[in-house]
Structure 1
Amino acid sequence: MKKGQNICDVESCFLCKNSLEEWKPAISAHKTTYKVKKGEVIFKEGDPVTGIYFVNSGCIKVYKKWDKDKELIVRFAREGSLFGHRGLGKGGFYPISAAALQPTVVCYVDIAFFEATLKVNSGFTYQLLMFLTEELKQSERKMRNLAHMPVKGRVAEALISLQNQFGITPDGFINIDLSRQDLASYAGATYETVFRMMNELVNEKLIDLSGKSIRLLNRDELLKLAQDIVFL
């Protein structure tokens, strides 16, 4: 990572917009801004925790090891979001990894200042609690789907989730340049299986492909696939 100009979008930054106005000079004094290249790893699973990151622009994938040479994407962190918080608490090591999906600018604060912010800013602490609660719900749903949902349904849900998070381009394609391997990691399946499922969805006229770009043609039918959970 390369240090960048100390800029911050106060209106969208999770740290700044939820902190007291009087605390913002302290944030400016303690934060460091970094420019991250596409594909660059910010920290790896097992690295010692040093601080928390906030996304200024771009997109980060947060992932865990899945088998020896595979990964499972837990979530995406976009503008205004944070990551690295899963390393808080006892242990002192990150249980996940984080890498940039595109050129990204992040702000970083060390653990000591982050903890001080929690103690001083009740509004920030409350919003962080709400964020963690929602993230826990999503993680529990993802684990349920991995156990009970067919791969085709997981792929359909992944595509719907991506469209919800990133929106669409003027041409109607999901507004993120995601590799098929990353899509497989997000759906919790192998590359080969996802490739086959994508071809089936194309043949059924539920999606359209143009290179890496994906367009949802029949969202209602994809939703039906995503809700088709069979409990054993």
Structure 2
Amino acid sequence: MKKINADCSICINTNCFIKKHSHLEKMQDYLLQKTNFSCKKGQQFMIEGAPMQGLYFIYKGKVKVLKTGIYGKEHIVRLTQEGDTVGFRGFGTSNKYLIGASALEDTVLCNFNSQVMEDILKNIPEFTYDMMLFYAEELNKSENNVKKIAQMNVRERVIDTLLYLLKKFGQINNLIDINLSRKEIADFAGTTDEQVTRIFSSLKKEGLIKIVGKKISLLQVEKMKQEVIEHR
């Protein structure tokens, strides 16, 4: 990773924990201890099992968060974008990362090392409160995902993944604003790339989706939502 400068004062990520609290007087000294890095597409900046290097906040770009399953198979547990936090799993309870993370596109990251993060949490109640709510929401999402994976068939999981991508990343020119391979979609949906390819073929024939390169357009969102509504 290459060190660069990413100024919080001109950051537009209003959902970022750091940006939301950058106006606080107590936060000013901590902002001076922030480190910024740039990552090329495909570059891994967190390795599962490696020593904790604090938390990362995405200034620009998109990141996939990975967890290794049985037989070494990778599972994508989160997809993140500008303003999101990466590395919070295990923070405060482990000295090693419990997940890995790599850039889906050229990405700029802000990093606070573990000691600085602990000092922030101890000294800035507003930040700590927001972080507590964030952890509660992430726990709720994880529990819902476990339930959905257990109850949904493969087609439903793929459709649910496409609807999630639309909600999370939005559209540009009617195409979901993220480039993912079939394997990456499969790793997120908990299936195989062969099954994803077959289901995509069916969805195209049914007029539910259109594919342009690695970009996907959802043509009948409401109809797709009806297929998974009982699981939502």
| Pairwise TM-score range, normalised by the shorter structure | over 0.9
Partner of 1:125: 128
Match of 1:37 among 37, 40, 59: 40
Contact 2:21/2:27 (<8 A) preserved = no
The one-letter code matched in structure 2 to 1:88 is F
Match of 1:91 in 2: 94
Equivalent AA in structure 1 for residue 7 of structure 2:
I
Cα–Cα, structure 1 residues 67 and 225, in superposed 2: closer, same or farther, change >3 Å?
Answer: farther
TM (normalized to structure 2)?
0.92
The percent identity for this pair of structures is 37
Distance verdict in 2 for CA 1:136–1:74, change over 3 Å: same
> Is 1:24 aligned to 2:27, yes or no?
yes
Q: Distance in 2 between matches of 1:222 and 1:152?
A: 11
Q: Where do residues 1-232 of structure 1 align in structure 2 (5 Å cutoff)?
A: 1-8=1-8, 9=11, 12=14, 13-18=16-21, 21-170=24-173, 172-228=174-230
Q: Name the SS of the counterpart of 2:184 in structure 1.
A: helix
- State the secondary structure of the residue aligned to 2:207: coil
Task: Extract unaligned runs of 5+ from structure 1.
Answer: none
* 45-54 vs 84-93, greater mean Cα deviation: 84-93
What's the CA shift for 1:15? 1.5
- Report how far residue 139 of structure 1 moved: 1.0
User: The residue matched to 1:75 in structure 2 has which SS?
Assistant: strand
Structure 2 unmatched ranges of 5 or more: none
> How many residue pairs are counted as aligned between the two chains?
228
Which TM-score applies when normalising by structure 1? 0.92
Query: Contact 1:149/1:228 (CA < 8 Å) preserved in 2?
Result: no
Q: Structure 1 residues 39, 11: CA separation in 2 closer, same or farther (over 3 Å shift)?
A: closer
SS in 1 for 2:159: helix
Over residues 123-164 of structure 1, what are the superposed CA-to-partner deviations in whole Å (9 max), with x where a residue is unaligned?
111111111111111111111122111010010010000000
Whole-Å separation in 2 of the counterparts to 1:180 and 1:173: 16
In 2 relative to 1, CA 70–206 (structure 1 residues): closer, same or farther, beyond 3 Å? same
RMSD: 1.6
Cα deviation per residue 1:23-67 (whole Å; 9 max; x = unaligned)?
A: 332122211000011010011111111211111010111111133
**Partner SS for 2:5:** coil
Question: How far did 1:77 drift?
Answer: 2.1
Distance 1:113 1:89 in 2: 12
Moved more, 20-29 or 92-101: 20-29
Q: 1:75 to 1:166 in 2, by over 3 A?
A: same
| SS of equivalent residue, structure 2 residue 32 | helix
